[in-house]
Chains A and B, each alone.
Chain A
Amino acid sequence: MATKALIPDPATEETTESLFAVPGIHCVSCIAKIEEGLPRQPGIVSARVNMGAKRVAIRHDPALTPPDLRAAIAALGFEAEPLADAGMDVAAAESRRLTRALVVAGFAAMNIMLLSVSVWSGAAGATREMFHWLSALIALPTVAYAGQPFFRSAWAALRQGRTNMDVPISIGVLLTTGMSLYETVTGGAHAWFDGAVMLLFFLLAGRSLDSMMRGRARAGVAALLKQTAPGALVLAADGSSRWIRADALRPGMTILAAAGERLAADGRVLEGESGLDIAFLTGESAPVRVRPGDSVQAGALNIDGPIRVEVTAAGADTVIADIARLMEEAGQSKSRYVRLADRAARLYAPCVHLLAALSFAGWMIAGAGVHQSLLIAVAVLLITCPCALGLAVPAAQIVACGALMRRGVLVKDGSALERLAEVSEAVFDKTGTLTLGRPVPQGLRRLWSDDRSILLALSQASRHPLSVALRQALEAKGVTPAALDHIREIAGEGVFAEYEGLSVSLARPRSLINLFGLAAEYRRGDQAMLLSFTDALRPDAADTLDALRGMGMKLLIASGDRPDALEAIARETRATAIGHLRPADKLALIGRLKGKGEKVLMVGDGLNDGPALAAGHASMAPASASDASQLAADAVFLGDRLAPVALTVHVARRTVAVVKQNFALAIGYNVLAVPLAIAGKVTPLVAAVAMSTSSLIVIANALRLKGVVK
């Protein structure tokens, strides 16, 4: 950093920062390559890689457009997608606030505890009073700062006439602090600052765990923004072109989309012919051919050739924005879900407050005086404060989520885990969910080894999905590419080259043999061979569906595909299948099942499943799913296997069982401790010991979940 000042900085205010998602960053040499390579390009001042988020922040000359920067990153060998403004990291800010509050509470709790230990071990008179004052000095600002998350949430709930877990917490902490302050001022024997601050510390630990879990979903939010391009090259009437941001595009403009670029708006093709990848919309991997006059959607990836598009709808009017709105509406029911801890708090809080009020009244009637009675009531509140509810629930959930993560399942948050445990019927999408969602070449074994080498070299030259599938399959077999001459790709036709003087090609089949299957033709000289591709069922789909059935769940396959394409899969998995469903039909299907009282687990991948994913009681998506679907799903699973779906439901059910055990433990502890408190036998020392032990016990119980996944 210090050396920077010696070099005259190229006026910082003249540079801007852009964010790019670079999924290919996975090792140290990637970081070094990008951070050292990018600044060598003209106009780029610096680049900083965030490996955890797989992002690069580039500081550059404002004259460089996102496609320029993308090309610069591509020149280093990485695929990159521009990210829209990073301004929406709300969850990160929330997480950071909680961490700060947790650290402050931890610092205060330790120091107050040191002072309290001296008081408990016999400090008396002036020393005790001084220690109480010192404790107050540390505790008051701490409660005011670290207690804010609870006070704010409690206040918001009370204003709407509801109660949640934060209401008893806030009342307990505030009353305890107030009473302790009164005791300190009047020189009383007991101050409870340690208890109040320690309670805040434990509860904040639970809250931070919860927020950390949600933080993992943040990358998914950024992914939705990348689906539409941040802007496009707009062609003016005089033939000049300039870069315009997506939100400034207007109907009637003409935009240029190069191969490999995403469209920023809906429109109609004016000129050029190309294949568009609209997997985000349909979940189908085969590109759609477009010609002048065809309509195209924002977010579609232009695969082979440059096209000119007249914008017909931009921004909030695009098809992708419509689906996003449908998803948002469908997701309302999820936000209405009341978490387990809050449901428990609705029963728990009135009991506790009634108990405290009764002990106050009881001691008043017994003639103990206002001061003594109030002290006892405060002790009851402190002892019953829902530590277990605040800490044990997130502790169990983060242990379960961590264990699932190691098995390739990312669960978004605790509420998702609770809802996953309740599902009674699973609805599966077909393409990309039960099947792999990508074409797999068939019959490669019949090829000679030199043919395989030629095919690999040909497929390496194209980004067409079938070429990519072929390349992956051949590379997985350890084939080495052959040396070809004159390689050229003709958009919509295929890849052509020469091998030892003989013309070879990987091209579109000349005769359409199978109407629905995908195929490519391999030609060598005058020989031609048809390579067929199918979308294979995931290897363990049938077993997973059987496992779910064994767990007492009903199963249904809902697809947008033709019914005859579903027949084989329905037979193999022995599940009922429904075909020809559009996104709104899937949404209606979920609504009907809900009406019958089922809690639906939706498993799907395409953007057409998005609204259904949002509407389901819980939802899962494979990692190959469209970004919007991954965003809507409660859990995302990696890899080609379907087994994680059954595993997740199993673990979710076990987690809820452990959470309920923890509630039982907490109630058991209260049954023991509350009579002591009501009898007036609970000193600050007893409260501190009781609180720590009960917290440790519920955490230890939560840790047992680690073994469930094995």
Chain B
Amino acid sequence: MTGLSLLIPIALGLGLLGLAAFFWALGDGQFDDTDGAAVRILIDED
């Protein structure tokens, strides 16, 4: 039982962290231009 009281909050917390990270990315416009993101890596910056 003591293990559970530690592990369950950790598991839920990690899940929530992922959820928060996704919302952050969504709000930040990371998914607005998926085609562009794929090719931007090829831009030569001198």
Residues of A whose CB lies within 8 Å of any CB of B are 27-28, 31-32, 49-53, 96, 99-100, 103-104, 107, 110-111, 114, 127, 134, 138
> 21 A-B residue contacts at CB 8 Å?
A28-B39, A28-B40, A28-B42, A31-B36, A31-B39, A31-B40, A31-B43, A32-B43, A50-B32, A51-B39, A52-B32, A52-B33, A96-B26, A103-B19, A103-B23, A104-B19, A107-B18, A111-B11, A111-B15, A127-B1, A127-B4
Contact with A along B3-33 (1 / 0, CB 8 A): 0100010011001101100110010000011
B2 CB within 8 Å of chain A: no
Give chain A residues whose Cβ lies under 8 Å from the Cβ of B22.
103
- Other A-B contacts than A32-B44, A49-B33, A99-B26, 6 sampled, CB-CB below 8 A, are A50-B32, A50-B33, A103-B19, A103-B22, A107-B16, A138-B12
Within the assembled complex, what's the spacing in Å between the Cα atoms of A557 and B4? 73
The smallest beta-carbon distance between A191 and chain B, in angstroms, is 16
Contact A100 B8, beta carbon cutoff 8 Å: no
The 8 nearest A-B residue pairs measured at CB: A51-B36, A28-B39, A52-B35, A28-B42, A50-B33, A51-B35, A32-B43, A52-B33
| Given A99-B26, A100-B23, A110-B15: A28 touches B32 (CB 8 Å cut-off) | no
The answer on a CB contact under 8 Å between B33 and A51 is yes
Q: In the assembled complex, which residues on chain B have CB atoms less than 8 Å from the CB atom of A134? A: 8
Give A99's nearest chain B residue, CB to CB. B26
> B15's contact among A28, A99, A107, by CB below 8 Å, is which?
A107
Complex CA gap A539/B43 in Å reads: 40
B38 to chain A, nearest CB (A): 9
Inside 8 A of A27's CB, which chain B residues have their CB? 39
Inter-subunit contact B19/A28 (CB<8 Å): no
Q: Write the nearest CB–CB distance from B25 to chain A, whole angstroms.
A: 11
Indicate if the CB atoms of A52 and B34 lie closer than 8 Å: yes
Grouping DSSP codes into helix (H, G, I), strand (E, B) and loop, the A interface class, with mixed when no group exceeds half, is helix
Name the one of A28, A100, A110 contacting B26, with C-beta atoms under 8 angstroms. A100
A107 cross-chain contacts in B, Cβ below 8 A: 15-16, 18-19
Instruction: Please report the C-alpha to C-alpha distance between residue A124 and residue B44 in the assembled complex, in whole angstroms.
Output: 62
In the complex, what residue of chain A is closest to B38 when comparing beta carbons? A51
The answer to whether A53 touches B26, judged by C-beta atoms less than 8 angstroms apart, is: no
Knowing A96-B26, A99-B26, the reply to whether A28 touches B43 (Cβ < 8 A) is: yes
B residues in contact with A104, CB < 8 Å: 19
Contact assessment for B12 and A111 in the assembled complex, using a CB-CB cutoff below 8 Å? yes
- Please tell me if the beta carbons of A50 and B15 are within 8 angstroms of each other in the complex: no
Residues of B within 8 A of A (CB): 1, 4, 8, 11-12, 15-16, 18-19, 22-23, 26, 32-36, 39-40, 42-44
B18: chain A residues at CB < 8 Å are: 107
Q: How far is the CA of A31 from the CA of B39 in the complex (A)?
A: 9
In Å, the complex CA distance between A103 and B25 comes to 13
Report A-chain residues with C-beta under 8 Å of the C-beta of B1: 127
Q: In the assembled complex, which residues on chain A have CB atoms less than 8 Å from the CB atom of B16?
A: 107
CB of A402 to closest CB in B, whole Å: 15
Complex CA distance for A53 and B36, rounded to whole angstroms: 9
Known: A111-B11, A111-B12, A134-B8. A49 touches B36 (CB 8 A): yes
In the complex, chain A residues whose CB is within 8 Å of the CB of B15: 107, 110-111
Chain A residues lying within 8 Å of B36, measured Cβ to Cβ, are 31, 49-52
Q: Which residues of B contact A53 (CB under 8 A)?
A: 33
Bound Cα distance from A49 to B19, whole angstroms: 28
In Å, the complex CA distance between A138 and B12 comes to 10
| A contact residues around B12 at 8 Å (CB) | 111, 138
Tell me the nearest residue of chain A to B43, going by C-beta: A32
CB distance from A617 to the nearest CB of B (A): 34
Residues in chain A near residue B32, CB distance under 8 A = 50, 52
Q: For residue A103, which residues in chain B have a CB less than 8 angstroms away from its CB?
A: 19, 22-23
A669-B24 Cα distance, complex, nearest whole Å: 40
A294 and B17 CA atoms in complex are apart in Å by 66
On chain B, the residues within 8 Å of A114 by CB distance are 11
The docked-state distance in angstroms from the alpha carbon of A32 to that of B45 is 9
Complex: A298 Cα to B4 Cα, angstroms: 70
A32 to B23, CA, bound (A): 29
Q: What are the residues of chain B within 8 A of A110 when measuring CB–CB?
A: 15
Q: How distant is the Cα of A49 from the Cα of B40 in the complex, in angstroms? A: 10
* A127 to B8 alpha-carbon distance, docked (Å): 12
Question: What B residues does A28 contact at CB under 8 A?
Answer: 39-40, 42-43
Expressed in whole angstroms, the Cα–Cα distance for A99 and B36 within the complex equals 21
Q: Which residues of A contact B40 (CB under 8 A)?
A: 28, 31
Instruction: Looking at the assembled complex, report how far the CB atom of A689 sits from the nearest CB atom of chain B, in whole angstroms.
Output: 23
Nearest B-chain residue to A126, judged by Cβ:
B1
A44 to B26, CA, bound (A): 28
Q: Find the A residue at minimum CB distance from B23.
A: A100
Complex Cα distance, B23 from A100, in Å, reads: 7
Q: From A107, which residue of chain B is reached at the shortest CB distance?
A: B19
Chain A residues whose C-beta falls within 8 Å of the C-beta of B4 in the assembled complex? 127
Q: Give bound CA distance, A96 to B32, whole Å.
A: 10
CB distance from B18 to the nearest CB of A (A): 8
Measured in the bound complex, the distance between the Cα atoms of B16 and A107 in whole Å is 8
Across the interface, name the chain A residue whose C-beta is closest to B36.
Answer: A51
Please, which residue of chain B has its CB at the minimum distance from the CB of A50?
B33
Q: Closest residue to A114 on the B side, CB-wise?
A: B11
Q: Given the complex of chains A and B, what is the CA–CA distance between A28 and B39 in angstroms?
A: 6
CA A134 – CA B9 in complex, angstroms?
10
Q: Which residue of chain B lies nearest to A104 when distances are taken between CB atoms in the complex?
A: B19
Chain B residues lying within 8 Å of A111, measured Cβ to Cβ, are 11-12, 15
CB neighbours (8 Å) of A100 from chain B are: 23, 26
CB-CB < 8 A to A99: which residues of B? Answer: 26
A339 CA to B29 CA, complexed, in Å: 33
With A and B bound together, what is the CA distance between A394 and B11 in angstroms? 33
What B residues does A51 contact at CB under 8 A? Answer: 33, 35-36, 39
> Nearest Cβ distance between residue B30 and chain A, in whole angstroms?
12
Measured in the bound complex, the distance between the Cα atoms of B15 and A110 in whole Å is: 9
Query: Bound state CA distance, A28 and B35, in angstroms?
Result: 10
CB distance from A104 to the nearest CB of B (A): 7
Q: Measured between C-beta atoms, what is the minimum distance from B4 to chain A in Å? A: 8
Chain B nearest CB from A448 CB (Å) reads 43
Q: Which residue of B lies closest to A27 (CB)?
A: B39
- Closest residue to A32 on the B side, CB-wise? B43
